[in-house]
Structure formats: structure tokens, C-alpha cells
């Protein structure tokens, strides 16, 4: 079932809401949508309430005039909880959606959260000034500031379609089905270039390394053996948290950046075991 609500700053957000019982909220990645989680919505809504939010300008949420920043998206999540009168929920963030979850925790704490799932997100997408080589590996930094700005200019420019297609190619396994790949690209291209480029820059510049020691809830961290996000960064996050579990999917388990859609059975079994523990 699709619903919409209006945020405090005037954006209209669309979200999936299916099932009943304990709440599981799914937060998608940069330039993607809640429809990425179609296999999880179908599976987990059989015995719990599953909500998949489309961030502003993403998926079926219409373009917003402003607010393409991680902390604004985190505030949108809080307002969704208020709108639906949800007192407590488990929350899964994938890729940039994990940063939105971290932003939520930074702003609002964990009092309304139950269990947490972080899927394939580095502590800092960009190498920050002053980072040693070891720090950069631990953070999972993918590029420096100059490269980040160059990528953003490509995304916002006339060759943006090709840039986003190339970006996606680096995040999937070589054996992905062509129709699934086409779907991922279709969702990626829904977001307006200037908005998604601005969000990309904001996302990349935040370093979340200090937040993990403050999180005390049961947490599942999922990475991929062949993901562009170095699995060592997921191991480092796991090492910072007292109450976390780490799972690294192999290539045949969809162990790139989209395990939940490339190998949904393996992903769902892992997530279900964690949620029921």
C-alpha cells in the first residue's frame, strides 16, 4: 500500500506501508528508491509491518524545492514516525540510507529504535583532511575531495546519464540479470540531476566515525566481498560497536552493493534470523 505525507518544510513523501505487527523501516540509498526492497517488503510483511520510505525527490516522492541534505532526510524519517504514531521500530539503512539512519541517531537518539541494520555503507565516503592511510581504509573512503567534486559535476552535467550508468556498473556483480540492472538504472535516473548531485556532495563530506561507540542497540552490519565498499571498513565499524554482528556476503550471495535484490533469499534469511533473535 502506498501512502504520502507532507513534511514540516513542505515536501511530499511517498512510502510503502504493508503488514502489521512490529515495525521494520527500510531506508534506501542515493538516487534509488524503496522499490529496491520489493523482496523484503513481500517477505517480512507477512508477520510484521514494513515501511519503505522514498526520500524527497526519489522514487515516487515528487521533486522537492529544497532539502537535499542527509540531516534533512533524517528529520523526514523522524516526522514519518510522528505521522504514523510509531513509538518503536527496527530500522535498516542501505548505502546512503545508512547515513540517514546515523543522522537520525545523531539528532534524535535511539529511544524509538529497536534493532538496527547497516548495509554496505562506509563511515566516510570521502577521504577527510588529515586522515592517515590507515584511517582512510578504516573509514572506507572511496576518493578525495577533488574527485568527489568532479563526479558531482559529471552527474549534474550533460553526460549525467552516462555517469550514473557507469556509477551503477561499479556496484553490481557481473552475473546480475539484465532486467534487474535495467530496473536499478531506471530508479537511479528518476532523481533530478542537480538535486542528486547536491545530495551526493553532502553525503560524501560527512565522517560518521565517532558515532558508532555511542550506539548500544543490537546491530547487524552487512558488507559484500566484491562490493566497491571495502569489507575492511565494515569490519572496522563492527569493531567499534559492543553489540554488533558482522556478515560479509560472498560474490555468489550477491556480495556487491545490492545483496537484497541480487540474492534476496540469502539476504532475507540473514535479516530474519537477526530480527527474531
Domain boundaries along the sequence of the chain:
2-276
Burial class of residue 162, CB neighbours in 10 A (0-12, 13-18, 19+): exposed
CA dihedral 178, 184, 185, 191 (to 10 degrees): 170
Helix axes 160-169, 178-188, angle to 10 degrees: 130
Rounded average pLDDT over 77-87: 98
- Give the model confidence (pLDDT) of 107-162 as tens digits: 999 999 999 999 999 999 999 999 999 999 999 999 999 999 999 999 999 989 99
Question: ∠32-37-43 over CA atoms, to 5°?
Answer: 175
Global pTM? Answer: 0.98
- Could you count the other beta carbons within 10 Å of the beta carbon of residue 170? 11
Residue identified by cell 556532495 is 201
Superfamily of domain 2-276: Alpha/Beta hydrolase fold, catalytic domain (3.40.50.1820)
Q: What pLDDT is recorded for position 125?
A: 98
Q: How far apart are CA 271 and CA 268, in angstroms?
A: 5
DSSP 8-state secondary structure symbol assigned to residue 238: H
Q: What pLDDT is recorded for position 253?
A: 92
Amino acid at each position: 500500500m502506498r501512502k504520502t505525507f507532507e513534511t514540516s518544510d513542505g515536501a511530499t513523501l511517498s512510502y510503502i506501508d504493508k503488514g502489521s505487527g512490529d515495525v521494520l523501516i527500510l531506508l534506501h540509498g542515493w538516487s534509488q528508491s524503496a522499490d529496491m526492497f520489493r523482496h523484503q517488503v513481500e517477505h517480512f510483511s507477512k508477520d510484521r509491518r514494513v515501511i519503505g520510505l522514498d526520500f524527497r525527490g526519489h522514487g515516487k516522492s515528487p521533486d522537492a524545492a529544497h532539502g537535499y541534505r542527509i540531516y534533512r532526510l533524517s528529520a523526514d524519517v523522524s516526522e514519518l514516525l510522528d505521522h504514523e504514531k510509531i513509538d518503536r521500530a527496527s530500522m535498516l539503512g542501505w548505502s546512503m540510507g545508512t547515513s540517514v539512519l546515523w543522522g537520525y541517531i545523531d539528532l534524535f537518539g535511539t529511544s524509538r529504535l529497536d534493532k538496527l541494520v547497516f548495509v554496505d555503507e562506509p563511515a566516510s565516503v570521502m577521504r577527510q583532511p588529515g586522515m592517515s592511510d590507515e584511517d582512510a581504509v578504516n573509514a572506507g573512503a572511496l576518493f578525495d575531495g577533488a574527485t568527489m567534486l568532479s563526479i558531482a559535476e559529471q552527474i549534474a552535467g550533460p553526460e549525467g546519464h552516462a555517469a550514473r550508468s557507469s556509477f551503477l556498473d561499479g556496484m553490481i556483480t557481473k552475473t546480475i540479470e539484465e532486467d534487474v540492472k535495467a530496473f536499478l538504472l531506471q530508479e537511479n535516473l528518476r532523481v533530478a540531476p542537480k538535486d542528486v548531485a547536491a545530495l551526493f556532495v553532502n553525503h560524501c563530506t560527512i565522517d560518521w566515525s565517532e558515532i558508532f561507540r555511542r550506539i548500544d542497540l543490537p546491530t547487524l552490519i552487512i558488507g559484500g566481498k566484491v562490493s566497491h565498499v571495502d569489507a575492511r571498513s565494515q569490519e572496522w565499524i563492527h569493531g567499534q560497536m559492543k553489540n554488533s554482528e558482522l556478515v560479509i556476503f560472498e560474490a555468489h550471495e550477491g556480495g556487491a552493493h545490492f545483496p537484497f535484490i541480487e540474492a534476496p533469499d540469502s539476504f532475507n534469511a540473514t535479516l530474519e534470523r537477526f530480527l527474531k533473535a
